[in-house]
Structure 1
């Protein structure tokens, strides 16, 4: 989880608070288009590298507004999920295991066989689980149309929640609290997902 904080934290540590303020300042910082493009690109790359999507969406919403951030999240995260699905479907298990632990992947393969659509929808906010589920869907050769439907719906809801939190926190001048919430919620959901899956896993 500490790695997930690298995107917003490392620039502040290396370059100081002044850089961070400039990065997210409405005047004098990077253009809105540049931030939007970078945000979508990072969210799409979440399947390959650990990107803190919740905090990133909160920060984007603070600068660009929640509707733009929510749309960027839905598009970027869905593109990343589709990429993971295709990697697993075309590259097979050996390629999928480069990003997910074998036991983790096996658990979600069993789960997605039972209830793939609901699992795709519900897993979107949970880091690690979200990636494992789309990889499992690729290995199981879920129809791509069905995958995209539930993936986009889940990512839209997830992005909307994080974006609204970030926008509201910025308006009330408590953005650090909003970002902290967007870090804590996925961590909590990850713990719940692991606990529930562990309870439901059949004995070998």
Structure 2
């Protein structure tokens, strides 16, 4: 009977449609103010590159003479001048390189923060995934045992089975129910943990995808 039960559990269909860990990575990133701030710092650094690598704007000045000034072209009452500052050779290139390095530094800081956040999500996600899978297994286990109990009762009533078989199934059902109760009591803490990382309400429902996805973390987080 136990062999049949185990085989049935192994071929059980996990029918919950939920969100994958990639979905929760996205939720965590969208709800994380620190990560958003680091990305804005990177964008601001990128916008400075063309600014520091281009010539400054020309300067237009105007002068007004109280008394007309005589020139070879005739008397003048006003004077306009347009000036352009030219930095020393190589200055613009050096400024561009420095701004580019700063942007790269900001981007790397953003990536590090993102990887740390994703690592936290994974650390909270997979224990909850395991727990929910175990709950499904125990629930299916109880259903199968209940059907075996009905069969054992029918055989016992017809004189084709023993009471020992009925009692044995009863014990197995109670064990499975105890395991299910223990798992159920552990679920709120794991749900709250993941929701805190996602910056959501502690009791917001977590629906896990039926397909387990494992993504490699960067070497520095292994």
Higher-helix-fraction structure: 1
Q: Give the number of the structure with larger relative contact order, counting CA–CA contacts within 8 Å between residues 6 or more apart.
A: 2
TM-score (normalizing by structure 2): 0.26
The alignment's TM-score, normalised by the length of structure 1, stands at: 0.28
Q: Relative to total residues, which structure has the larger strand share, 1 or 2?
A: 2
